[in-house]
């Protein structure tokens, strides 16, 4: 017969082993086992204690964070006396049952939070929490209107194809450094790629307009996209001809010079004393004044390809009245003449006298352009019967004849 003696006690809490004076007589004989057990027990040895309990409550598992200092909160059992996370000693939060907090540096290479909670006997319980460090700002797809495009009045600025690994939170729009407004992202869940639009009122401004989108994700990462469009909110500029208070007669021409517009000249219209003259894509009009005398108000309406309009007014003076003429000294009709004969003329006109002419038998034989007009003719070179007339032109071309005289020699 073979006898084996074992002394042991199995504890459910762990691997601690205690030696007891309980003899387990195991008799092995021909495959038969007998186990007589003694009931008397000896005093227990000292137990080895486990660490305290607890875990992180903030941040969550696989939380997305930026590489900036992060507030971390641990909640433990009442026997916790010290907590260390990522080599940072945490501080107990007053007024709580078991919260500890710390500000933990986060770098782009940080994988997570790894720490230990200790009790008074320096028994430690490890804890961990993995993180995703995200320093990437939202990415832009396309913006519109395209760079360099002409815009007018109120127009839509758009950013499309926006994406971010975390979540686009909002987009701000700025125009020439001035805040325009903000567009918030739709709530989660969402497809991760979104488009945004915002109206921009360019008002009366004309010139380069610098647009800037600022995109933020929910972590505060920010990216920008800037581009320049051209605002045109003013009609074409030009110089109207003829000049103010120019005197005109009959059918005259009015025209534009120095036409400028970013969008380009589209249409030109003209009114004369409120009466519609016509429209053109060019820069000239002919205006009929007939027998009218007085002021003619010209109204030009210039429109560009963006429908911006500019109006110009110009007043001219219509003079369709002939000058006055009077022969003050000359041989009377049917008079006999010889040698060189002089004719003295008085003429006047509001537009000024251009010239005075002496006509004999249909031919101009003398002219004078200075006031105090004196015209001379050598009658020896003329026919014996002469039909004599004085003709006066003003500076616009209006003409007047003095009565015809007949001379003989």
CB-based contact 212:174 (threshold 8 Å): yes
Q: How confident is the model at residue 68 (pLDDT cuts 50, 70, 90)?
A: very high
Q: How confident is the model at residue 190 (pLDDT cuts 50, 70, 90)?
A: low
CB-based contact 168:127 (threshold 8 Å): no
Kindly state the tokens that stand for 164: 């971010």
Q: How confident is the model at residue 49 (pLDDT cuts 50, 70, 90)?
A: low
What is the residue whose two structure tokens read 């005093």?
Answer: 43
* Residues 6+ positions from 374 with CB-CB distance below 8 Å: 342, 343, 344, 345, 368
* Residues 6+ positions from 339 with CB-CB distance below 8 Å: 378, 379, 380
* Residues 6+ positions from 83 with CB-CB distance below 8 Å: 54, 74, 76, 89, 90, 100, 102, 115, 116, 117, 118
pLDDT digits (tens, 9 = 90+) for 391-404: 999 999 999 999 99
Nearest to 230 by CA among 308, 295, 327, 340: 308
Distance CA 51, CA 57 (A): 19
CB-based contact 212:58 (threshold 8 Å): no
**Burial category of 223 from C-beta neighbours within 10 Å (exposed 0-12, middle 13-18, buried 19 and up):** middle
Q: How confident is the model at residue 191 (pLDDT cuts 50, 70, 90)?
A: low
Q: How confident is the model at residue 20 (pLDDT cuts 50, 70, 90)?
A: very low
Distance CA 49, CA 122 (A): 10
pLDDT digits (tens, 9 = 90+) for 87-144: 999 999 999 989 999 999 999 999 999 999 999 999 999 999 999 999 999 999 999 9
Q: How confident is the model at residue 167 (pLDDT cuts 50, 70, 90)?
A: confident
Distance CA 36, CA 27 (A): 9
- Range with lowest mean pLDDT among 110-114, 194-198, 261-265, 297-301: 194-198
Nearest to 127 by CA among 73, 78, 79, 91: 73
Q: How confident is the model at residue 166 (pLDDT cuts 50, 70, 90)?
A: confident
Kindly state the tokens that stand for 336: 């006999």
Q: What is the pTM of this model?
A: 0.66
**Burial category of 231 from C-beta neighbours within 10 Å (exposed 0-12, middle 13-18, buried 19 and up):** buried
pLDDT digits (tens, 9 = 90+) for 215-265: 999 999 999 999 999 999 999 999 999 999 999 999 999 999 999 999 999
Residues facing residue 9 across a β-bridge: none
Distance CA 215, CA 168 (A): 7
Nearest to 150 by CA among 301, 303, 305: 305
Residues facing residue 11 across a β-bridge: none
* Residues 6+ positions from 350 with CB-CB distance below 8 Å: 247, 319, 321, 394
Residue 237 has, within 13 A of its CA and on its CB side, a CA count of: 8
Distance CA 110, CA 211 (A): 37
Distance CA 336, CA 140 (A): 104
Query: What is the three-class DSSP state of 269?
Result: strand
| DSSP-assigned letters across all residues of 155-194 | EEEEEEEEE-SS-EEEEEEEETTEEEEEEEPPPSS--SEE
């Amino acid at each position: 017969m073979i006898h084996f003696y074992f002394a042991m006690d199995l504890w459910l809490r762990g691997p601690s082993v205690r030696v007891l004076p309980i003899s387990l007589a195991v008799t092995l004989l021909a495959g038969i086992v007998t186990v007589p057990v003694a009931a008397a027990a000896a005093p227990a040895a000292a137990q080895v204690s486990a660490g305290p309990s607890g875990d992180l409550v903030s941040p969550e598992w696989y939380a997305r964070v930026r590489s900036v200092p992060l507030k971390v909160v641990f909640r433990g059992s009442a026997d916790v006396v010290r907590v260390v996370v990522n080599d940072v000693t945490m501080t107990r939060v007053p007024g709580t049952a078991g919260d500890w907090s710390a500000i933990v540096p986060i770098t782009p290479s940080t994988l997570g939070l790894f720490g230990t909670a200790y009790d008074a006997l320096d028994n430690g319980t490890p804890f961990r929490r993995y993180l995703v460090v995200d320093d990437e700002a939202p990415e832009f797809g396309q913006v519109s209107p395209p760079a360099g495009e002409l815009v007018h009045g109120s127009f839509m600025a758009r950013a499309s194809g926006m994406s971010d690994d975390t979540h686009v939170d909002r987009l701000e729009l700025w125009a020439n450094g001035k805040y325009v407004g903000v567009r918030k992202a739709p709530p989660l869940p969402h497809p991760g790629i979104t488009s945004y639009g915002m109206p921009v009122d360019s008002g009366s401004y004309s010139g380069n307009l610098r647009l800037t989108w600022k995109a933020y994700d929910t972590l505060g990462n920010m990216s920008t996209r800037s581009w320049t469009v051209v605002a045109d909110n003013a009609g074409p500029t030009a110089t109207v001809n003829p000049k103010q208070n120019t005197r005109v007669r009959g059918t005259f021409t009015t025209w534009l010079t120095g036409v400028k517009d970013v969008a380009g000249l589209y249409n030109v219209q003209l009114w004369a004393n409120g009466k519609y003259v016509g429209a053109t894509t060019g820069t000239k009009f002919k205006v009929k004044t007939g027998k009218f005398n007085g002021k003619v108000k010209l109204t030009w309406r210039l429109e560009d390809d963006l429908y911006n309009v500019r109006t110009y007014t110009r007043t001219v003076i219509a003079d369709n009245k002939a000058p006055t003429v009077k022969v003050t000294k000359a041989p009377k009709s049917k008079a006999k003449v010889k040698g060189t004969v002089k004719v003295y003329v008085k003429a006047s006109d509001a537009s000024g006298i251009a010239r005075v002419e002496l006509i004999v038998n249909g031919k101009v034989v003398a002219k004078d352009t200075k006031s105090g007009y004196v015209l001379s003719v050598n009658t020896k070179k003329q026919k014996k019967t002469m039909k004599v007339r004085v003709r006066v032109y003003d500076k616009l071309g209006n003409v007047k004849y003095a009565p015809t005289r007949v001379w003989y020699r």
